[in-house]
Amino acid sequence: MILVIGGTGTTGRAVLQSLHGVPTRALVRTPGSLPPGVEQVVGDAADPGSLRAALTGVSGVFLAMGNGPRQEEIELGVVAEAARAGVDHLVKLSAPGPADSPVAIARMHHRVEDAVRASGINHTFLRPYAFFQNLLFHADRIRATGSFPTTTGDTPLNMVDARDVADVAVAALRRKSTGTHLLTGPEALSYPEVAALLTAMGKPARCVTLTAAELRADLTGAPPWLVDHILEIQSLATTHPEHPNATVAQLLGRPPRSLDDFLREHARAFGA
């Protein structure tokens, strides 16, 4: 039995779909629509009682908590309960960057990774860069105004399809293979290049480069921790060049999905 924690998130839902045919359970806060055959356990990952119930009879865990102020506390609790339950293998969605990264959330992921290592559970750490799916957060603005903001200018950025990350996670769970994997798409692209792809699809689009202060003002209303995170990762990208790797292809035996294909798949969302 595989337990998916974070099954309603972008990657977790893709993991549930990719686990088709494998006995699977999802810990969810509220009952909802999940892929056929997935057992739902209603509870909160922050509650040890919910975790113990969800972990009963489980040999493998996929852990993908949404970023937030309590993420480290909750993930550490999951690791502790998984160790007590005798879980054999844990796959954690983590983040790229060194342990002393200037990105606070990346440092948090490293601390949780350390706890997993100390627990003795066999593990796989997945460190993807930004998801293609994150671009959908700009879709309404692009559809309405034909523009979207960033501070990274012409800097090439690693992006990856969350479904490829999910497929790597499922391969690790099925094979019980361990390791730490930095995951990228097939190419690094700047946001102006993303806008050019949208324009080529029939939706004229442009990327507007802002200062950090201007982007912070643009994000007024978003949680402060999220604004800080966006600015931290964009700043890091401009000072530490990003380059794609072949890890997804090596692990899955096929090339990763391309951004061009993703944008075409979601063309209507962007107004193309």
The residues with which 39 forms a beta bridge, in sequence order, are: 25
Q: Is the pLDDT of residue 148 over 90?
A: yes
Residues 149-206 pLDDT 10s = 999 999 999 999 999 999 999 999 999 999 999 999 999 999 999 999 999 999 999 9
Q: At 105, is the pLDDT very low, low, confident or very high (cuts 50, 70, 90)?
A: very high
Quick one: three-class SS letters along the chain?
CEEEECCCCHHHHHHHHHCCCCCEEEEECCCCCCCCCCEEEECCCCCHHHHHHHHCCCCEEEECCCCCCCHHHHHHHHHHHHHHCCCCEEEEECCCCCCCCCCHHHHHHHHHHHHHHHHCCEEEEEEECEEHHHHHHHHHHHHHHCEEEECCCCCCEEEECHHHHHHHHHHHHHHCCCEEEEECCCCEECHHHHHHHHHHCCCCCEEEECCHHHHHHHCCCCCHHHHHHHHHHHHHHHHCCCCCCCHHHHHHCCCCCCHHHHHHHCHHHHCC
Which amino acid appears at position 114 of this protein?
A: D
pLDDT, residue 163, reads: 98
Percent of the chain predicted with pLDDT > 70: 100
> How do residues 194-227 score in pLDDT, each as one tens digit?
999 999 999 999 999 999 999 999 999 999 999 9
Identify the band that residue 24 occupies on the pLDDT scale cut at 50, 70 and 90: very high
% pLDDT > 90, the chain: 92
Tell me if 111 sits within 8 A of 97, measured CB to CB: no
pLDDT of residue 114: 97
**Which residues neighbour 137 within 8 Å (Cβ) at sequence distance 6 or greater?**
none
Pairing of strands 157-160, 130-131: parallel
Residue 201 φ/ψ, nearest 5 degrees: -80, -10
φ/ψ bin of 21: left (φ > 0), alpha (ψ from -120 to 50), beta (otherwise): left
Tokens representing residue 162 in the block:
């969350």
Q: How far apart are CA 126 and CA 138, in angstroms?
A: 25
Q: What is the mean pLDDT of residues 239-262?
A: 96
Residue 33's pLDDT is: 83
pLDDT of 31 = 82
Neighbours of 45 (CB within 10 A): 21
Both structure tokens of 181: 């994997």
The rounded Cα 54 to chain-centroid distance in angstroms is 22
pLDDT at position 32: 79
Confidence check: pLDDT of 17 > 90? yes
The pLDDT of residue 233: 95
Q: Are 97 and 106 in contact (CB under 8 A)?
A: yes
What pLDDT band is residue 102 in, cutting at 50, 70 and 90?
A: very high
Predicted confidence band of residue 97 (pLDDT cuts 50, 70, 90) = confident
User: pLDDT digit string (tens) for 27-73?
Assistant: 998 887 889 889 999 999 999 999 999 999 999 999 999 888 999 99
Give the separation between CA 169 and CA 108, rounded to whole angstroms. 20
Look over the chain and give the mean of its residue pLDDT values, rounded to a whole number.
Answer: 95
